[in-house]
Amino acid sequence: MKQLFSFFGLLVLLFPQDVFGQEKKLDFFGSGRFVLNNSALSGALLKHDTTTAQKQMTGNTLFDLGFHIRPSEETEIKAITRVSNDINGFWGGGVNFYLRELYLRGLLFKRIKYQVGDLNTKMTPYTLYNSAIELSAHNPLALNTVSEIINYDKFYGTNSWRQQGASADFGFDFEKYLNHLHVSGLITKNRQTDYFSTPDRLLSGLTLQAKAFHQLSLTYNQTNVFDVQHSAMFSLAQFKNQVQTFGLSEQLLLSKINIGINAEMGRSSVSYTEIANAPVIPNGTFLDAGFDVQNKQKSWSAAASFRSVETSFRSMGAQSRRVDFSKTGLEYPYYTNREIPRPANMLDIISDGSYYNMFLSPDLKAYNPAYENMLPYGKATPNRQGGDVSLMYKPNKSFFKLGVDAALYNEITGQGTTSLRQFTNAEAYADLALHELYKGKKKLQMSFYVRSQNTARAGLQGIDKIDLKTTQFKLGVSFEIIPKMELQIAGILLKADGNEYLAQRNSYNEIIFYKGYTAQLNEALWIGGINYQFSKNNCLKIQYQQSNWDNLLLPDNQYKINRFSVLYNLFF
Amino acid sequence: MKKLFLVVGIGTLFFLAGCKKDKTIEGPELVDIFGDFNILEPIKGSKTTVDFSKGETVQYTCKLSIRTNWTIEIIGLNSGARKVYTGNAKDFVLNPIVWDGTISFAPFFRKNEPCVARMSFESYADTLYSDTVIITDVKPTPSVDILFDDYESPQRAYNTFTEGQQTFNGTSVNFQGVSPAEKTRFYVLAGNHGSTASLFLCGMNLTAKASQGTTDNYFKFSTDNPKKVFFNAFIYGWGDNKAEVSIEFQEDDNMDGIYQPAEEGAYTYRLPVNWTGWKLVSFSYDDTKISTSGGFGNSDRTGHKDLDRIIAAQFLLLAQPGTIGNTRVGFDYCSFTYFNPFRP
């Protein structure tokens, strides 16, 4: 705390004369938020659960204050502080005050861009990438503020991972054939040593991008995650994970149709040294190639891609998951008289940041097949090969936008059997601006989304047969009552029916056991409320939310959470 | 158009190059885990008597038809002590479970105590029992680096305190039929609180001088690195889900031999007691947080944790928010260890 005060003291003392006196050398930004959730638990669970409190109130207030300081034309400092106070913290008991973000960036020799401190790191979907997976697609408007808040709080930004370290990039322009060569690199600290047995872990990344003929782009990407030997007193153990990829993209214009071609291929290696009995992990490769086409008016587009990711492909930067199902949430974290952790439901995943992870992990973390089973680690999911196609149609000046996506994948290596899983996924969505249809003055918008994902394995031994069907349906309605004030209604229904086997892995990501998974799960989330939009980045949401979790195979655990929620959010 | 053909050609090559099928199997075979469950050889111990004081061990073996999650609990039939092993091996005749007399859950095993191994399965209702093994002598209590208190000396200068209508109990033996975790005595903090009472119920403070029985005001740690020093305590919970414990270390920052709560720091570790029975709780000094009570250790003169200035440790019984009525908590065998938590 003293360090923080010292830091701000320095800011105030050092910069006023140079900074406050000159325009645009200092600007302020930030966010403010108030969240109050008052929840009540009901359902069959309470017939047998006498330990869980039935009502809970959670929430907090917080304020972020950020500074952009430009001491010179070529240097910028960004710092954000956060003061937060939990609803349960009275008289300062729950107050947290900390530095949320700090970096310095600038230009060296008028050519090299650099940044030190906090970095939002992102490369390609196979090297360093933060994939949005569970329940993130086409959510209704009633949920947009909570997902914005989670992305803001966890620094997910545009599929990036927040790291601390340094980055630099620079480029060269050429006149013939090769138009531009761009080099960017980063090095970040991924893990802090405990000084005994856990060494420091660093991540380095390099991208070389060459643009030629004004339409062709060739890239080389490399990431290295490695433990720093001698940084822990009692361990010389070292984990290394290297991924190298080559990418190609080309933009063509044929008969007034834009055609984009993208491909990336590469290999990974993992090694463990100075660790007794550590296995030798084979190298893994992947290949991803596809194209997209779009007419000049952008009223329709289509895309198709094929990818194959080998079973042994490991990329810590790309396979780390956002949602960590081993975490417990803020509301009703434990249930039943055995007080077991309550598994995350849809309401938790959509609204509770406690389940979200901010760290790169060397493990292939567990996931819930009811929410996602085909690509639980994003495009870099190992042991998958198949393709996707997607179509989008949005005529100019029309009131609707329609789209369909389909995917068909299968495993490359059987898990526990030679029989392979097959995955099919079909999605369709529609966004309707109905007020444009009947020329109404008040906005009326509706959105629909439906997804069907099936996992099947024929099985050769009877017990290895898998048949899991999941369906998601999302509905959103938004009606403008008066200017700036909307009635928002959202419904999300999920059904998961069938069986699966969930792989349990050791610390080397080797499968050592399986856990049988069976479900006849019906989940429903209904939300209704008012949204008052003070300005583009400033809103008040008052909502009533109802979540029902019912697995027919566990009838005693059926529960419903009714929640009254107030959310005020401001970005400035 | 030529470009398009080129693109399609390259795409086809990529597709053909990417199609793969691996005939190997990843992970163990499913039939080895989800096949028919049979007990091929029941669980049995290698001895009928064992003298752990001489370093003897008991080896347990069993053979199953499949790999499945199991738990083996070796239970002291007089003390209730338990040693727990979990695994999913199907045949541990060649690699048996080797029990050396240690415990997983307090209390410790007793001399001349009969013990039995109980094997249960996560996915099957079967429960297997071994023959009884008699402990002719127990394993010596594992050493700790600094024994804070084993509560075997009731005459020690415990400073106890409470407020208002709350009540507390001092050192007790076999409190409400509970056996100590170690030897014959343990310490109980108990209190009663109403809906309008504060969360604090009662507390006990023991100085480093009293703990060590010397004239030294402070503990003599071999390191001042907070990450390397662990505090360990056996804590008994009555399963009422009403109690919280706060363990507080008071630092005499100016080393004048007197702890001034308004000026000198106190570092606390707080946890709810939501279990029934004894549980070993361990945390590093680095895990403690500076007190948030105004005027009670929330201001640290040195600005950081100073192991070499810990003058006393304080144990507080707090009520969990929203609860009322009687609650209590027991402490036994509190210690400091270096590098790792205490492993009895």
SS3 A450: strand
Least-confidence region, from A90-104, A379-393, B33-47, B129-143: A90-104
pLDDT confidence band for B11 (50 / 70 / 90): low
Domains and CATH numbers, chain B: 31-137 (2.60.40.2550), 146-338 (2.60.120.260)
Q: Using a CB-CB distance cutoff of 8 angstroms, which residues of chain A are in contact with residue B22?
A: 311, 412-414
SS3 A409: strand
Q: What number of H helices and E strands is found in chain A?
A: 6, 25
**pLDDT at B324 exceeding the cut of 90:** no
**A418 → closest Cβ in B20, B23, B321:** B23
Instruction: Report strand pairing: A414-415 vs B25-26.
Output: parallel
Query: What pLDDT score does A79 carry?
Result: 96
Residue scoring higher pLDDT (B321 or A510): A510
**pLDDT at A391 exceeding the cut of 80:** yes
Q: Could you report the per-residue pLDDT of A123-151, keeping only the tens digit for each?
A: 999 999 999 888 988 999 999 899 999 99
- Are residues A426 and A404 in contact, defined by beta-carbon separation less than 8 angstroms? yes
Return left, alpha or beta for B338; rule: phi > 0 is left, psi -120 to 50 is alpha, else beta.
beta
Query: What pLDDT score does B184 carry?
Result: 81
HEC-encoded secondary structure of A362-430: CCCCCCCCCCCCCCCCHHHCCCEEEEEEEEEECCCCCCEEEEEEEEEEECCCEECCCCCCEEEEEEEEE
* Mean per-residue pLDDT, B291-320: 86
Q: What is the ipTM of this complex?
A: 0.79
- Are residues B341 and B282 in contact, defined by beta-carbon separation less than 8 angstroms? yes
* Mean per-residue pLDDT, A14-18: 46
Whether cis (ω within 30° of 0) applies to the bond prior to A282 is no
Closest CA to A329 of A313, A343, A309: A343
d(CA A225, CA A315): 9
* Mean per-residue pLDDT, A500-515: 93
Closest Cα in chain B, distance from residue A41 (Å):
17
pLDDT confidence band for A372 (50 / 70 / 90): very high
Identify the contact set of chain B against chain A, taking CB-CB distances under 8 A.
Answer: 1, 3-4, 7, 10-11, 14-15, 17-31, 33-35, 67, 69, 88, 123, 225, 227-228, 241, 274, 292, 303, 321-322, 339
Structure tokens at B161: 């305190």
Within a 10 A sphere around the Cβ of A66, how many other Cβ atoms? 17
Length of chain B: 344
d(CA A26, CA A274): 50
d(CA A85, CA B75): 47
pLDDT confidence band for A479 (50 / 70 / 90): very high
pLDDT confidence band for B93 (50 / 70 / 90): confident
SS3 A502: strand
d(CA A39, CA A34): 16
Q: Using a CB-CB distance cutoff of 8 angstroms, which residues of chain B are in contact with residue A310?
A: 20
**A464 → closest Cβ in B20, B30, B67:** B30
Q: Using a CB-CB distance cutoff of 8 angstroms, which residues of chain A are in contact with residue B36?
A: none
**A463 → closest Cβ in B19, B30, B69:** B30
**Is the CB of B27 less than 8 angstroms away from the CB of A289?**
no
Query: What pLDDT score does A481 carry?
Result: 94
Helix (H) or strand (E) segment spanning residue A207: strand A201-212
* Mean per-residue pLDDT, B107-125: 91
**pLDDT at A152 exceeding the cut of 50:** yes
| Its pTM surpasses 0.90 | no
Helix (H) or strand (E) segment spanning residue A434: helix A434-437
Closest CA to A488 of A449, A543, A569: A543
**B292 → closest Cβ in A93, A263, A420:** A93
Q: Report the sign of the C-alpha dihedral through residues B155, B160, B165, B168, in that order.
A: negative
**pLDDT at B127 exceeding the cut of 80:** yes
* Mean per-residue pLDDT, A77-84: 94
Query: What pLDDT score does A234 carry?
Result: 80
Residue scoring higher pLDDT (A23 or B141): B141
Query: What pLDDT score does A204 carry?
Result: 97
Query: What pLDDT score does B171 carry?
Result: 53
Query: What pLDDT score does B325 carry?
Result: 83
Q: Using a CB-CB distance cutoff of 8 angstroms, which residues of chain A are in contact with residue B24?
A: 413
**pLDDT at A502 exceeding the cut of 90:** yes
Query: What pLDDT score does B71 carry?
Result: 93
Least-confidence region, from A352-361, A563-572, B98-107: B98-107
The distance from CA A40 to its chain's CA centroid, rounded to whole angstroms, is: 29
Structure tokens at A198: 């856990």
- Are residues A79 and A71 in contact, defined by beta-carbon separation less than 8 angstroms? no
d(CA A431, CA A446): 6
Q: Can you tell me which residue has the tokens 């019906």?
A: A522
d(CA A117, CA A28): 19
Q: Using a CB-CB distance cutoff of 8 angstroms, which residues of chain B are in contact with residue A510?
A: 27
Query: What pLDDT score does A197 carry?
Result: 78
Query: What pLDDT score does B310 carry?
Result: 94
Residue scoring higher pLDDT (B320 or B245): B245
pLDDT confidence band for A18 (50 / 70 / 90): very low
* Mean per-residue pLDDT, A485-499: 96
Q: Report the sign of the C-alpha dihedral through residues A278, A279, A282, A284, in that order.
A: negative
Q: Could you report the per-residue pLDDT of A419-476, keeping only the tens digit for each?
A: 999 999 999 999 999 998 888 889 999 999 999 999 999 988 788 999 999 999 999 9
pLDDT confidence band for A14 (50 / 70 / 90): very low
Closest CA to A357 of A316, A405, A417: A316
**Is the CB of B7 less than 8 angstroms away from the CB of A511?**
no
Q: Using a CB-CB distance cutoff of 8 angstroms, which residues of chain A are in contact with residue B2?
A: none
Q: Could you report the per-residue pLDDT of A207-217, keeping only the tens digit for each?
A: 999 998 878 99
* Mean per-residue pLDDT, B229-245: 91
pLDDT confidence band for B40 (50 / 70 / 90): very high
Q: Supply the DSSP string of A508-554, one letter for each residue.
A: TS-EEEEEEEEEEEEEEEEEEEEEEEEETTEEEEEEEEEEEEEETTS
Least-confidence region, from A492-501, B292-301, B324-333: B292-301
How much of chain B exceeds pLDDT 90, in percent?
Answer: 42
* Residue B248 backbone phi and psi in degrees, to 5: -125, 135
**pLDDT at A10 exceeding the cut of 50:** no
**B27 → closest Cβ in A261, A415, A420:** A415
Structure tokens at A124: 């390609």
Structure tokens at A28: 């302020």
Q: Could you report the per-residue pLDDT of B195-227, keeping only the tens digit for each?
A: 666 778 888 999 999 888 888 899 988 888 898
Query: What pLDDT score does A11 carry?
Result: 45
Query: What pLDDT score does A15 carry?
Result: 46
